[in-house]
Every structure is written in C-alpha cells, then in structure tokens.
Amino acid sequence: MFKRVDRLAIELPISNNPDPNGASAVQELLGGKFGEMSTLNNYMYQSFNFRGRSKLRPFYDIVASITAEEFGHVELVANTINLMLEGSTSPGAPDTTPLRIGKDARMTSHFIESAQTALPYDSMGRPWDGSNVFSSGNLILDLLHNFFLECGARTHKMRVYEMTDNNTAREMTGYLLVRGGVHILAYAKALEIATGVDVTKLIPIPNLDNKAFDTTRKWEAMGEQRRLYTFSDKDYQQIAQIWKGTHPTDGGKLEAFAGLPGYGGPIPELPDLPEEFAPGISPEDFLQIAERLKRNAGL
C-alpha cells in the first residue's frame, strides 16, 4: 500500500518568468521513455511481480523503496512544469484572444488539454505508455535494466538542464541529478552483490561529475548523494544490506535511512485562470459551496 504526504520533495522556487517551451522540454523528464513516470512504473511493476521475495529480501526492498521515491519525483517534475507555465497568459474576454501565445508554444496541448499544467507526455507530446515498463522476472536482467534506465535518465536530465536556465527547472533538475545518482549506485551495488561484478567502475555515465551543475552542489554538500531512504516507517529496512560501504567518487560513508527525507517543500498554489475556465468556480459558486459544506458539517 502507499501512504501519501501533502508535501513536495523539495521547495521549488517560483519561476521569475514563464517558459512554456522550456516546460515542453521538461515534459521529457516526466513522461519520456527515461522520465520519472518510467522509473516509477518500472520499479513498481518489478516490485509487484518479484519472485523469491523472502529469499532475496534486500533486492526487493531496494526496488520497492526506490518506487516510493519515484512517486515523489513524478510529483516534483509535474509541479515544475506547472510553475514554468504560470503567468503565460492573462485574463481577457474571448475576443481579445487571451490564449494567443498557446498556438505558438511547442506544446499547444498545455493550453488546450490542460489549463497550463503538466501532461503524461514526453517533450514531443507522445503519451507515456506501459510499453516503457520492463519487468522480465529475471533479477539480474531487471537490475541491469534499471541501471541502464537511470543512466539514460541522467543523460536526459543533463541535456534538459542545458536547454533552459529557468530557475524552477534548474532547481528540480539539480536535485534529481543527485537523487538519480543515488539510484544508479543502488542498482550498481545490487548487481555487484548479485554477481560479484564491480559495476560501480562504469560510473559516471555520461562521464561528467554532478558538481558541474550549479544546483546539485547544495544537495551534495548535505550528503544527499550518499543517502538512501526506505520511504516507510518500518518496512524495507534491508536496503541497508546493499546500501553500505563508501561512495565510489566522493569516498564518504553510504547511509540507509528509515522513513522520508527530513526536508521538503510546500505544494505550489495554482491561482484561478479565468481565461482557461479553471477551476471554473466563481465567487458566487464558492459562497454556495461554503454554505453546503457548513450544512453538511451540521453547523
């Protein structure tokens, strides 16, 4: 089962200027083949389908706890896209063409299908689909796939980082580069325990340190590249049987934590967007809703 927390993985800065085309590039990190929806669903199905769980518990715990973290990454990237689109248009009567900018934006669907918010699509508007999930049932093959998936995800994050200097996008991407690096290392170490092969020698792919990206540095200074969380109060603690030893590039001690990270940020508040009819609740409607809520509460 899953427990939900009404908090974002990190605090996202409010973007200083709308960047609809940057938001369409960031869609790749959400609904692309190597995006967060793919990492989430790959690990989620592998954890549902895991054979020999009792015997291979530490491997199951690694896949299951990273699944939970990926849920929060999907949420973080979606919120980044929302903030990048924020302020693209302003209210106006239909005849003033208030959504004019939408027709020239790379992802017109942000302005038609959703009220300037994230969609489960890649950067070219292709919908994410279940064929992006690899769940072979062979433990080594699945772990190898996950290592490859995380390296591909890292490559795409680095390229998107180079495409937009929007501050919200950079903050999110820097953080996810650090956390994705943890997942690369977790799968490498799992493969090492399972096979005896030192997969960490392949790291980093691409061969560029996270430190080259400005917004990674504060997370690395905090030691986030060395921490793996269970995302559960009591379960999945056998991650510590795999997540131990030292970090291959920074030499620090790897630490497994029960629970969630101690940091996080508020879920950004999205204001009314009358030109998109969203949420479409007028002040008069709201008064009536408040009245009905009061009546339902017996007041």
Nearer to Mn ion, 36 or 275 (CB): 36
Nearer to Mn ion, 70 or 122 (CB): 70
| Part in contact with Mn ion (CB under 5 A); list of ranges 37-45, 191-199, 209-217, 265-273 | 37-45
For residues 203 and 200, give the distance between their C-alpha atoms in angstroms, rounded to a whole number: 5
Nearer to Mn ion, 35 or 102 (CB): 35
Size of site (CB under 5 A) for Mn ion: 3
Min CB(124)–Mn ion separation in Å:
21
Nearer to Mn ion, 66 or 139 (CB): 66
Which residues pair with residue 141 across a beta bridge? none
Residue least distant from Mn ion (Cβ): 73
Q: Residues 191 to 250: which contact Mn ion by CB under 5 A? A: none
User: Cβ(157)–Cβ(180) under 8 Å?
Assistant: yes
Q: Residues 66 to 105: which contact Mn ion by CB under 5 A? A: 70, 73
Min CB(140)–Mn ion separation in Å:
22
DSSP string spanning the chain? -----SSBSSPPPPPSS--HHHHHHHHHHHHSTTSHHHHHHHHHHHHHT-SSTTTTHHHHHHHHHHHHHHHHHHHHHHHHHHHHHTTSS----GGG-TTHHHHHSS-THHHHTSSS---SB-TTSPBP-GGG----S-HHHHHHHHHHHHHHHHHHHHHHHTT---HHHHHHHHHHHHHHHHHHHHHHHHHHHHHS--GGGG-SSSS--GGGSGGGHHHHHHTGGGEEE--SSSS-GGGGGTS-SB-TTT-PBPEEESS--S--BPPPPPPPBGGGTBS---HHHHHHHHHHHHHHTT-
Min CB(154)–Mn ion separation in Å:
10
Nearer to Mn ion, 169 or 273 (CB): 169
For residues 166 and 170, give the distance between their C-alpha atoms in angstroms, rounded to a whole number: 6
Nearer to Mn ion, 111 or 147 (CB): 147
Q: Residues 44 to 73: which contact Mn ion by CB under 5 A? A: 70, 73
Residue 121 has phi, psi (to 5 degrees) of -125, 165
Nearer to Mn ion, 12 or 273 (CB): 12
Min CB(99)–Mn ion separation in Å:
32
Nearer to Mn ion, 121 or 175 (CB): 175
| Part in contact with Mn ion (CB under 5 A); list of ranges 36-44, 53-61, 76-84, 243-251 | 36-44
Min CB(70)–Mn ion separation in Å:
5
Min CB(40)–Mn ion separation in Å:
8
| Part in contact with Mn ion (CB under 5 A); list of ranges 39-47, 154-162, 198-206, 243-251 | 39-47
156 binds Mn ion (CB under 5 A): no
Residues that bind Mn ion (CB under 5 A): 39, 70, 73
